[in-house]
Structure 1
Amino acid sequence: TLTAIHLGDVLLGEQVKYDTSNRVLISRLGDLKAGLIVDSAEEILRITDEKINPPDSASTPLNRDFLEGYIALEERNIYLVSTEKLQNLVRVS
């Protein structure tokens, strides 16, 4: 059995509509595997630790309880989700 978590539900705190455009990223969360449901996945970036800003300095409607930080790029911000907190969520479900 694989637990699936829709990150929109977790980060926005509201039920998000599922459709055929959603993607499932299979991830290892500590000793668990989980499916992370996202709206889309477009690219993979390599980011150094120096570019990661603390989550409390982000201007975002996202639930900061699940954020580890964010990266400010030229055209957008990318938010880092805490795998430890997701792991706790998977253990509860």
Structure 2
Amino acid sequence: MSKQMFDVAKLVEHFGGRSNLHARLLESGEKITIRAIDQWLYRGRIPSAVLATMLRLSVLSGEPLDLAKFTKRADQQQRPDSREPIDSLLD
């Protein structure tokens, strides 16, 4: 059985992209930067405390996340080309 991981890009997109997610996290009290979100996208990982906040935000908005819809096999992980600015790949 292959290792499963969250599809971070799909999670960020669910919240309307990195700018909208950033704004919602700030409003909820998370001290987060756009650069941090860029790093999650690059690494394919979200800190567990922030993921918990995202889950809470989804419940409060009336659209609870079904995390099973945001998983993929680890071998499907694709990192952006390091020569290409991450901004061109997002939003």
Question: Which of the five TM-score ranges fits, normalised by the shorter chain?
Answer: under 0.3
Query: Does 1 or 2 have the higher relative contact order (CA < 8 Å, sep 6+)?
Result: 2
Structure with a larger share of its residues in helix: 2
With normalisation by structure 1, the TM-score equals: 0.26
Structure with a larger share of its residues in strand: 1
